[in-house]
Amino acid sequence: MAYVLPKKAGVVLGQVKSVVVRFCPFEANVESTRNFLQCLYTKKAYVSNSNCDLKAEVKHDGSEPVINVQFADGEELIMKGANLTTLEMLQAFKSRCAAKAPKVQEKTQKKNP
């Protein structure tokens, strides 16, 4: 069965410095991680932060699928995709990005009174 991305996936990488997605494509629990990776490689995501470093590390070692997100403020989000759905990963990612958006706006307002 083919996976259909949610119409409102709308990933925004504005607060993100880098994303590394590691997985073994031959494992059964990798589908949601691959779908999350597909959401990152959309035109809308790229335009939101063209300086974000996106890497996919495909390994043939039976390792657990892991997504490591490094934010511009130094904070890190690690999602282990083996037991998460694509929607759960997107929600966690978006909520963390949304929480950081006001902080960026506050800093900009303080610099330009």
Q: How many CB atoms lie within 10 A of CB 13?
A: 24
Between the alpha carbon of residue 21 and those of residues 3, 30, 83, 102, the distances in Å are 19, 11, 15, 27
- The answer to whether the beta carbons of residues 20 and 78 sit under 8 Å apart is no
Region 30-51: mean pLDDT is 92
pLDDT class of 49 with cuts at 50, 70, 90: very high
pLDDT of 107: 55
Is the predicted pLDDT of residue 101 greater than 90, yes or no? no
Class at the top of the CATH hierarchy for domain 16-99: alpha beta
pTM of the model: 0.80
Categorize the per-residue pLDDT at 109 as very low, low, confident or very high, splitting at 50, 70 and 90: low
The structure tokens listed for 91 are 């929600």
Greater confidence (8 vs 36) lies with: 36
In tens, the pLDDT along 4-30 reads 555 456 789 999 999 999 999 999 999
pLDDT number for residue 103: 59
